[in-house]
Structure 1
Amino acid sequence: MSGITRWTLVLGVLVLAGIVAVLPTLRDENSAAPGASGGSNTDSGALAAARQDARLPDCPGAPGASDGAGRSRTSGPGSGPAVVPRLRDVEARCLADGERIDVGAALAGRTTLVNLWATWCGPCRDELPVLDAYASSDEAVGVLAVQVDSGELEGLELLAELGVRLPAVHDGEGRGPIRSALRAPQALPASYVITSDGQIRLIENPRVFSRVEQVRKAVRAYGGSS
């Protein structure tokens, strides 16, 4: 082996060793960078502040949870199935506290109006305050707002801006598990009545609510007790 070849090999080994030594540092820097996978302290702080500003009620299934109007949402024994069949094993993140809930179990044995909405949806922005007013009215069934296809932080900020205080979950930023299980249409908003015996019915008339009385009539027409 010539002297030139030997020195070339030595130089190559030194360069390779330098690369190996630097890689862990690069990985640590990337992990700490804002926006890196897994989130950052800034993101967690922003979400915590947004949750505090939104002041949403507990989600169904949480101890002491209400329907958004101060009424208990605890089902009595024998009031219905233990899980809504089409929502079995479906989970979502509660916007109020970030905890994951079993949606099928949380909605079982009670009649609930489930509304799918997104931050980019103009009609959703108009409809959410109507649903909030309905939930606070006499003889209303429980309402669960399901944010889909949009960011959790933006959802909390929108609810706070609108003054909407409904129990709400985040179904992810794509086509999440709730939207998929309900076989929801692409167009939003979309509302469903889930009856106490686990039946799920898409409200097709009207597709968008503009008055509380519309909500009340639709819930009755689609199997609810409002």
Structure 2
Amino acid sequence: MNNRTRWLVLVLVLGVAGVVALWPRDGSPQPPPASTRPTQDVAALRAQAQLRACHPAGEGGVDVTCLGDGTRTALALKGPMLINFWATWCQPCQAELPVLETYAKQPGAVPVVPVLVESREADGLELLARLGVRLPSVYDGADELRKRVKAPMTLPATFVVGADGSVRQVTDPPYFTAPEQVEKAVR
């Protein structure tokens, strides 16, 4: 192989590598770019959402923001409780939130805490209001709670916190479509 042929092969290999590196991926769904709409008055969105009060802060908890009133609170991982990580761009999350609301209204239901991640507070409040979900919800902007429970980046992600403080992820089903599934998962 002469020098000219070697250079031609090198240029072709680099060209193919460049195309592969820049080619769009068809992997897991990515969040859409940040909203370009004007920032809405979060206080007005809080009033519209009418969320129930967050659970009282607990010792050794993870610092999160209560979506209902905007206060910082320490969410203690003391159960029984169900924690659900969700985002506004996640379609299964949007279908699951009303199911969690229905379950939480049942007698004997364990507390359900939806945790907004990867989205703006205002967008989360707007979605909860539109869905009619009034659960006491928190915002984990720094992903501290998700890191503490070692939650995956895929959403939704649901965890059951036992009375002994144990934390286990619910993987079957991948997301809830009926209150009975939630009931079974928390047993």
Band the TM-score falls in, shorter-chain normalisation: 0.7 to 0.9
Alpha-carbon distance, 1:137 to partner? 0.9
Q: Judging changes above 3 Å, is the alpha-carbon distance between structure 1 residues 114 and 89 closer, same or farther for their aligned structure 2 residues?
A: closer
In structure 2, which of residues 153, 157, 163 is the aligned counterpart of residue 196 of structure 1?
A: 163
TM-score, normalised relative to structure 1: 0.63
2:67 is matched with 95
Summarize deviations over 1:128-165 as a string: whole Å, max 9, x none. 00000000012210000100011000000000000001
Q: Distance in 2 between matches of 1:89 and 1:216?
A: 25
> Displacement, 1:47?
0.3
CA RMSD of aligned residues (A): 1.7
Match of 1:37?
A: none
1:125 is aligned to 94
> Rg bigger for which structure?
1
Number of residue pairs aligned between Structure 1 and Structure 2: 150
* Aligned counterpart, 1:56: 51
Aligned-partner residue type, residue 48 of structure 1 = A
Paired with 1:89 and 1:219, the residues of 2 have a C-alpha distance of: 21
- Show structure 2 runs of 5+ residues with no match: 1-37
Hey, which bits of structure 1, 4+ residues long, moved more than 6 A? none
How far, CA to CA, are the matches of 2:61 and 2:96 in structure 1? 29
Question: For 1:192, what is the secondary structure of its paired residue?
Answer: strand
Instruction: Report the structure, 1 or 2, having the larger helix content.
Output: 1
Matched residues in 1 for 2:80 and 2:186: separation?
9
Give the distance between the partners of 1:196 and 1:182, measured in 2 at CA: 15
Using structure 2 for the length normalisation, give the TM-score.
0.76
Q: Give the AA of the match of 2:122.
A: L
> Which one has more relative contact order, counting CA pairs under 8 Å at least 6 apart?
2
Alignment of 1:104-143 (within 5 A): 104=76, 107-108=77-78, 110-143=79-112
Aligned to 1:148: 117
The one of 147, 150, 169 equivalent to 1:183 is 150
Match of residue 167 from structure 1? 136
Q: Distance in 2 between matches of 1:123 and 1:211?
A: 13
